[in-house]
Amino acid sequence: MDIKVLGPGCKKCKELEKAVHKAVEEIGVDAVVEKVEDMDKITEYNVLMTPGLVVNGKVKVFGRVPKHKDIVRYIQEEM
Q: Which residues are catalytic?
A: 10, 13
Cβ distance to another protein smaller for residue 10 or 79: 10
Query: Minimal distance in Å, beta carbon 41 to another protein?
Result: 13
For another protein, the closer of residues 26 and 49 by Cβ is: 49
CB of 60 to another protein, least distance (A): 6
In whole angstroms, what is the distance from residue 43 CA to residue 30 CA? 27
Amino acid identity at 16: L
Q: Which residues bind another protein (CB under 8 A)?
A: 7-13, 39, 47-51, 58-64, 66
Taking alpha carbons only, the member of 41, 45, 39, 36 closest to residue 13 is 36
Partners of residue 33 on adjacent β-strands? 3
